[in-house]
Amino acid sequence: MSRGFTLIEVVVTVVLFTALALAVAQLDIFYDRVVLFQKASIEVVAGGNAVVDAVRTAGLQARRVVAAHTFSGVEYGSGATAVVFELPAVDAEGAVLPDTYDYVAVDASGASAFRRTDAAPGSARLSGEKRLTNVLGALGFSYDTPDVPSVRSVTVDATTSAATAQLHLRGQVRLRNP
Amino acid sequence: MLIALGILSVSIVFVALVAGTVKGTRDSAYESVASHIADNALVALRAGGYAALPADGSFDDPGLAELPQGSASTSVSVWNAETKQVTAGISWQGADGNTRFISLTTLVASSGGL
């Protein structure tokens, strides 16, 4: 004679499967949160490094800091929230083009930081803008002297933040080609 | 029962992996901060010039506040008669509790250079 399940057995089975389903759902929610946190942390670190490295790279090649320059019809000026470098233009072989200069600016707009390049004709550098990060919290520049043409050292403070992750990086660059 | 054990095992492995990656990400952030502190220190020392190179010792930097138990030091040694080797080292407590250390080294000449 065949035997079916008792009510108790069915109830226990349903409870067990419900508990397991809840556990799996919680695991999925936890995984999503971890992924978001990890993604935010990586963006914060990468963004901060991109900003500081952009300033450092441009500064090391720069001849001087200029008060202002126009990029694609918009003027950007060196100050507390942006910096504009004048770099000797170089051709594709790396040779310096006499009396020819490229301009590179790093500035913030909302939660984004940009590197803008205005390359002279014949320069190996490419004109355009590049978004360095879109998780910028704050961007500040300070100089060794308020007299812009005399600036020899630039300090950049970049704070990036996303979700619960935050990072503050400070970079200092000393102009080597004044 | 087997299903429950399977889910439990996967959960334990998953949590262990997640914990590892979170620690790795945190260490990456610490290392970025530390490398910039060291780099800034070398920029400052190079700017000061050969004659102003300090003796070995610790130095302070605002970025150290972002590193657990962060500390920074420089060491200066003679490279040759006209050149000194300067090293900036940063140590901090990593996410796993172990002490981490990075250092950057440069040469500073008594004449010329940048």
Inter-residue contact A135 to A44 (CB < 8 Å): yes
- Of the residues B11, B27, B36, the best mutation for testing chain A's interface (the one with the most A CB atoms within 10 Å of its CB) is B36
Closest-CA distance, A177 to chain B, in angstroms, reads: 9
Inter-residue contact A9 to A15 (CB < 8 Å): no
Closest-CA distance, A74 to chain B, in angstroms, reads: 32
The predicted model gives A104-118 an average pLDDT of 96
In a domain, A18, yes or no: no
Is the pLDDT assigned to residue B11 strictly greater than 90?
no
Structural domain count of chain A: 1
Confidence of residue B96 (pLDDT cuts 50, 70, 90): confident
In a domain, A24, yes or no: no
For residues A147 and A142, what is the distance between their CA atoms, to the nearest angstrom?
12
In a domain, B95, yes or no: yes
Of the candidates A128, A135, A133, A115, the residue with the CA atom closest to the CA atom of residue A56? A115
Closest-CA distance, A22 to chain B, in angstroms, reads: 12
In chain A, the residue whose alpha carbon lies closest to the alpha carbon of B41 is A172
In a domain, A17, yes or no: no
Which residues, other chains included, contact B43 with Cβ-Cβ below 8 Å and sequence gap of 6+? A172, A173, A174
Structural domain count of chain B: 1
Q: How far apart are the first and last CA of chain B?
A: 71
Strand runs labelled E in chain A: 64-65, 68-71, 74-77, 82-90, 96-109, 112-118, 128-133, 136-143, 153-162, 165-174
Residue for token digits 């940048």? B114
Of the candidates A104, A25, A91, A92, the residue with the CA atom closest to the CA atom of residue A63? A104
In a domain, B114, yes or no: no
Residues comprising chain A, all counted = 178
Instruction: Tell if the CB–CB gap between A20 and B7 is shorter than 8 Å.
Output: yes
In a domain, A93, yes or no: yes
The predicted model gives B82-109 an average pLDDT of 93
In a domain, A141, yes or no: yes
Residue for token digits 């914990």? B19
Query: b vs e for A75-114, b when ≥16 Cβ sit within 10 Å of the residue's Cβ?
Result: ebebeeebbbbbbbbbeeeeeebeeebbbbbbbbeeeebb
Give me A164's structure tokens: 């619960």
Domain that residue A113 falls in: 35-174
Instruction: Tell if the CB–CB gap between B11 and A174 is shorter than 8 Å.
Output: no
In a domain, A102, yes or no: yes
Residue A84's pLDDT is: 97
The predicted model gives A71-99 an average pLDDT of 95
Domain that residue B101 falls in: 2-109
From chain B, the residues in CB contact with A163 under 8 A are: none
For residues A70 and A74, what is the distance between their CA atoms, to the nearest angstrom?
5
In a domain, A116, yes or no: yes
Mean pLDDT of chain B: 88
Residue A2's pLDDT is: 65
In a domain, B30, yes or no: yes
The predicted model gives A123-138 an average pLDDT of 96
Residue B113's pLDDT is: 60
B28-60 pLDDT, tens per residue? 889 999 999 999 999 889 888 888 898 899 999
Q: What type of residue sits at position B80? A: N
A20-77 pLDDT, tens per residue? 889 889 888 988 888 888 888 899 999 999 999 999 999 999 999 999 999 999 999 9
User: Taking the CA atoms of chain B, what radius of gyration do you get in angstroms?
Assistant: 21
Residue B112's pLDDT is: 67
Instruction: Tell if the CB–CB gap between A37 and B22 is shorter than 8 Å.
Output: yes
> Residue A164 in 3-state DSSP?
coil
